[in-house]
Amino acid sequence: MSRIYYTKPSITELEVRYATDAAANGWGDQCYQYIQRFEKAFEKHLDVKHAIATSSCTGALHMGMAALGIGPGDEVIMADTNWIATASPIVNLGAKPVFVDILPDSWCIDPTKAEAAITPRTKAIVAVHLYGNLCDMDALLAIGERHGIPIIEDAAEAIGSEYHGKLAGSMGRFGAFSFHGTKTLTTGEGGMFVTSDSELYEHVLALSNHGRMRGQTKQFWPDMVGFKYKMSNIQAAIGCAQMERIHDLIARKRQIFETYRQQISSIPGIRMNPEPEGTINGAWMPTIVFEPETGITWEILQAAFAKENADARVFFWPLSGLSMFEPVHENVHSWSIPVSAINLPSYHDITESELDRICNVIRRVAGKKHG
């Protein structure tokens, strides 16, 4: 029985050809060629003014937050349900992540809870579009407007997600993407900073190049202490090939999501990623959550998947439950949902029979008595 991985990149002859070209020829005068091309393609795809390719999404967030002036004593509000990559730049800047609960249907930040957590020290709210599900951007942007606080979009998991005609990552003061090997579009490791705020762009561009401003004519003359989070030309070459295939990469994710939705969403006691009216879910990670009454837990699911030689990835644990933070038990959804949830395998080349195997496991688990 072949192993079913939860994720695996889709690398074709095109990616290999571009990467080979970059390795052979992308030096000297051409050392930024694929990087610039990748950035331009990304700007166009997302319909934003500026994009800066980075070594990771974490780096893009770090630089963007630094450029917003976030530092010691400041607070940044974010959902408790999250990967730590969104919180670590805040901590590394000396600020404090303030964890609030998620909504039970979208698993994204609860705007009401976010607004209630605002203090005079709040410097930003981060909207993370979890698993491709969209945050309530209208509500968050209105809160940002009311309080004069920027909304940052961590769209690492949301390439292809669309909110009332706008692509995820293009709506906040800035957006950040990840091209880690598990993401819909990959360069191995990598990320992108995007914004339509030209002043912020210039600042982050300088930060991304060790604080060297574009207009600075003196060589080796940084104007500020910056970062070194640049993407290499070889990674960008892979990114350029993936950009040419972006619609196909997203369409396949959505197709897999649709297959799961058709086959398992009608099972009693099961919930999947929502797709409310006016939105498109990029479907990075199809996810199932069982109602607590079913007695079905992530351990039961993982054991059943293991028997089928298939991966079942756990739902993000609440960050406030980690040893370096204070637990915030009132974030009830962030604490309870992971107990009865898993992410389903969804890589580009997964076959129909593999999808059938997964759906059958879920049906078998759901059909038994638990607890």
Ligand X SMILES: *Cc1c(COP(=O)(O)O)cnc(C)c1O
Catalytic positions: 183
Which CB sits closer to ligand X, 159 or 237? Answer: 159
Closer residue to ligand X, CB minimum distance, 62 or 254: 62
Return all residues near 242 (Cβ < 8 A) that are at least 6 apart.
15, 179, 185, 186, 187, 249
Question: For residues 149 and 70, is the Cβ–Cβ distance under 8 A?
Answer: no
Q: Which is nearer to ligand X, 48 or 192 (CB)?
A: 192
Q: Are 222 and 205 in contact (CB under 8 A)?
A: no
Q: Parallel, antiparallel, or unpaired for β 313-314 and 279-280?
A: unpaired
Measured at the alpha carbon of residue 306, what is the angle toward residues 305 and 311, in degrees to the nearest 5? 70
Window 194-223: residues binding ligand X (CB under 6 A): none
Question: Counting contacts by CB under 6 A, is residue 365 touching ligand X?
Answer: no
Tell me: does residue 86 bind ligand X (CB under 6 A): yes
Report the nearest approach of ligand X to the CB of residue 216 (Å).
28
The secondary structure of the chain in percent helix, strand, coil, rounded to multiples of 5, reads 40, 20, 40
Residue 233: is it exposed, middle or buried by C-beta count within 10 angstroms (0-12/13-18/19+)?
Answer: buried
Separation of first and last alpha carbons in the chain = 30
Kind of pairing between the strands at 270-272 and 279-280: unpaired
Q: Which stretch binds ligand X (CB under 6 A): 87-95, 152-160, 193-201, 301-309?
A: 152-160
Asked whether 157 and 284 are in contact (CB, 8 A), the reply is yes
Q: Whose Cβ is closer to ligand X: residue 240's or residue 304's?
A: 240
Coil/strand/helix, residue 4: strand
In whole angstroms, the minimum distance from the beta carbon of 131 to ligand X comes to 9
128 is a site residue for ligand X (CB under 6 A): yes
Among 156, 204, 237, 280, binds ligand X (CB under 6 A): 156
Give the residue with the Cβ less far from ligand X, 86 or 331.
86
- Which class for 112: exposed (0-12), middle (13-18), buried (19 or more C-beta within 10 A)? middle
The site for ligand X, by CB under 6 A, has a size of 13
Token pair listed for 325: 């933070």
Query: Using CB under 6 A, which of 64, 132, 191, 345 touches ligand X?
Result: 191
Q: How near is the Cβ of 240 to ligand X at its closest, in Å? A: 18
106 near ligand X, judged by CB under 6 A: no
- Using the contact rule CB under 6 A, the part of the chain among 50-58, 72-80, 192-200, 212-220 near ligand X is 50-58
List 180, 230, 271, 313, residue binding ligand X (CB under 6 A): 180
Nearer to ligand X, 213 or 314 (CB): 314
Residue 178 contacts ligand X per CB under 6 A: yes
170 binds ligand X (CB under 6 A): no
Binds ligand X by CB under 6 A, chosen from 51, 53, 57, 310: 57
φ and ψ of 65, to 5 deg: -65, -40
Among 5, 32, 83, 325, contact with ligand X (rule: CB under 6 A): 83
CA distance 327 to 318: 9
Residue 56 CB, shortest distance to ligand X, in Å, is: 3
Q: Apex CA 316: angle with CA 145 and CA 352, to 5°? A: 110
Euclidean distance between CA atoms 269 and 265, whole angstroms: 9
Question: Is 58 among the residues that bind ligand X (CB under 6 A)?
Answer: yes
Residue 325 near residue 319, CB atoms below 8 Å? yes
Tell me the window of 55-63, 68-76, 99-107, 114-122 that interacts with ligand X (CB under 6 A).
55-63
Contact between 81 and ligand X by CB under 6 A: the answer reads no
Part of the chain binding ligand X (CB under 6 A), chosen from 41-49, 151-159, 199-207, 325-333: 151-159
The residues binding ligand X (CB under 6 A) are 56-58, 83, 85-86, 128, 154, 156-157, 178, 180, 191
